Structure 1
């Protein structure tokens, strides 16, 4: 099986796995315990906090550990809302957010908040001017993702951050896909979310940055862990492995960015040379190098994904948090595609184990599937 779904999850790095096992075995103390074994665990937890903070240019005290990206998004947003003036009940987000953000805002809307959604153009970019026009005196929060998990399109966090500061509005970003791939400067934001298993760390671990000046209220009063923002004993082994994987990935990010950019370009070039007709979705100049969202005209994405799996290729039709839905791809619809076009969308997301040698094999298998499909369609 050739794995091409790294935007959904990545295999754990060997070094991170060694750390996970070693810490689980030898540093099993509860970091809230006051004895020496607990203190050792707390030291590892604090070291992990410093590592994540350094990558996003924040301070260790501003990092809160969670169970993953979805929980990070939701807890970070709730923390900002809890710190907002009660007279502000307006939230702005985009049409292409991850389901964890979208679902939370749907819930908040049902509870009385007003939610506005800034659209994207045909390449997947939001308009800063349009975003600016949506801000009112009642706006408490803007939440816009850094990079889209389906197209890889990157939004301008600095421009949005400047706009938010100008209007005195909190700004949160889902940085799960961009973390350790792009440089992130936390000072432009009030909160941002990251995840371990997207950067070759273990599943079940994530974190969010919350600016230390934010006077948020505990999610559950009386909770002592993570400033009261995340209840429960911290996953020290998971955090240590997450920090290890993140540090390794961040150190290698420049070389890997170049390698993946070349790999994706070679894939597109050879796909074009093969005669297979396809549409590359999303701004080609402004997206992550590891994600390629495309459509094969006349071929439904769900069917292609299943056929690829049978042929030994692991691809997806978008966010893993929406698998099983027969609705047209939301991101494609937001970009102005028809229902039929949106259902054609598939995503190839490359990672460390993918090489140029695999490209010909991948294209040959896709070509065989498409030829068989269209041959059947004629009868």
Structure 2
């Protein structure tokens, strides 16, 4: 059983078909001036338009990348460096994805400073804390829409409104939210946004970055021709075609799938409670929270290290994770758990179940069976 969809998803049949078709028929380099290149370029621009429609964005602000991590790195550094003359103060949270941390740390090595906002016991930021952190030299804020470990949803429209009033750039990591929650970059006053193909049943190694076309940015590397100078490297046309095919599908069925995920999550929580298992559902212990993505179930099996539970689940045929796949294999306490106020030992108990389009109710009950068997096996 695969219950690790927040780490990556299998490619959909439609995305696979689009990949093969584009590989066969649109293999020209999009930068080449001959007909083969022109046809590939036309396909690329059509996909750009489609993604822009999904975000209510202008297509000239869409840049295709190798994934969410690259999108975040390029957006944050390109914007911060372009506006450094206004100030060098950044704001983010203590629960961002490692790729955001890396981008901020790079800028800190260049003389920028950063304020790391705390979160409440559910993982949400306090808008008052954000307001208080803003300084005269604050130029950019990066706050993820949905956290990759606990699924908490941040109020990006309220954040965007507040930052717009102060003329501060707003980047949001939407890798976990795109296709699962509505995103309107104009309504939320988002300056830049990062998304990834392999989280929405598209191929790996493809993603996109949106930057408001009215905002100036400085290229990460100079003398780069691809994607209007945003990044280097020949465009992955078939990968992008498959990515946008998957994006159109997931956005189309977003509301229906969200409700189904809520039902599956509630089934899981009810069953854990019925059996009185020593399991904590982080951030939403009752299973009823409008501020958490229902497809992400952050858990702690009391008294058992998450790494052990993950390996025991794997032995029993259940794939789940201990958090961000980018940090897999490192038996370190989850920084998100620590930010929620958990002790180091509690943070080490963390595991994450994440549901997807192929997840059934029977799989959810089977997952509870497996957790119960592990708890019983280690109870003496």
Given the alignment, which residue of 284, 287, 293 partners 2:298?
293
CA distance in 1, matches of 2:330, 2:107: 23
Counterpart secondary structure, 2:53: helix
Counterpart secondary structure, 2:171: strand
CA distance in 2, matches of 1:180, 1:359: 22
- Equivalence map 1:56-95=2 (5 Å): 56-95=55-94
CA distance in 1, matches of 2:61, 2:294: 29
1:359 and 2:360 correspond: no
Aligned residues of 2:91 and 2:115 also touching (Cα < 8 A):
yes
Quote the offset at 1:85 in angstroms: 4.0
Aligned residues of 2:145 and 2:155 also touching (Cα < 8 A):
yes
CA distance in 2, matches of 1:136, 1:206: 33
Counterpart secondary structure, 2:378: helix
Quote the offset at 1:80 in angstroms: 1.1
CA distance in 1, matches of 2:223, 2:32: 17
Quote the offset at 1:87 in angstroms: 4.0
Quote the offset at 1:103 in angstroms: 1.5
CA distance in 1, matches of 2:300, 2:235: 42
**Which residue pairs with 2:222 in the alignment?**
221
Quote the offset at 1:43 in angstroms: 1.0
Quote the offset at 1:317 in angstroms: 0.6
Counterpart secondary structure, 1:5: coil
Counterpart secondary structure, 1:86: helix
CA distance in 1, matches of 2:77, 2:46: 26
1:348 and 2:353 correspond: yes
**Which residue pairs with 2:342 in the alignment?**
337
CA distance in 2, matches of 1:271, 1:322: 28
Which stretches of structure 1, 4 residues or more, deviate above 4 A after TM superposition?
A: none
**Which residue pairs with 2:273 in the alignment?**
272
**Which residue pairs with 1:123 in the alignment?**
122
CA distance in 2, matches of 1:261, 1:277: 22
RMSD: 1.0
Aligned residues of 1:95 and 1:334 also touching (Cα < 8 A):
yes
1:232 and 2:237 correspond: no
CA distance in 2, matches of 1:79, 1:344: 38
**Which residue pairs with 1:321 in the alignment?**
326
**Which residue pairs with 1:35 in the alignment?**
34
**Which residue pairs with 2:246 in the alignment?**
245
Counterpart secondary structure, 1:4: coil
Counterpart secondary structure, 1:47: helix
Counterpart secondary structure, 1:116: strand
Counterpart secondary structure, 1:234: coil
CA distance in 2, matches of 1:12, 1:84: 39
CA distance in 1, matches of 2:106, 2:58: 31
- Equivalence map 1:167-186=2 (5 Å): 167-186=166-185
Counterpart secondary structure, 2:149: coil
- Equivalence map 1:191-230=2 (5 Å): 191-230=192-231
Counterpart secondary structure, 1:201: coil
Counterpart secondary structure, 1:222: coil
CA distance in 1, matches of 2:196, 2:254: 16
CA distance in 1, matches of 2:330, 2:364: 29
User: Which of 309-318 and 77-86 deviates more?
Assistant: 77-86
**Residues 157-195 of structure 1: CA deviation (Å, up to 9, x unaligned):** 011111111111110000000001111111211000000
Provide the TM-score with structure 1 as the length reference. Answer: 0.97
Aligned length: 374
Quote the offset at 1:218 in angstroms: 2.1
**Which residue pairs with 1:152 in the alignment?**
151
**Which residue pairs with 2:141 in the alignment?**
142
**Which residue pairs with 1:114 in the alignment?**
113
Quote the offset at 1:278 in angstroms: 1.2
Counterpart secondary structure, 2:379: helix
Counterpart secondary structure, 2:158: helix
**Which residue pairs with 2:51 in the alignment?**
52
**Which residue pairs with 1:374 in the alignment?**
379
User: Which of 125-134 and 359-368 deviates more?
Assistant: 359-368
Aligned residues of 1:90 and 1:140 also touching (Cα < 8 A):
yes
1:98 and 2:94 correspond: no
User: Which of 338-347 and 356-365 deviates more?
Assistant: 356-365
**Which residue pairs with 1:6 in the alignment?**
5
CA distance in 2, matches of 1:193, 1:47: 19
Quote the offset at 1:64 in angstroms: 0.4
Aligned residues of 2:72 and 2:103 also touching (Cα < 8 A):
no
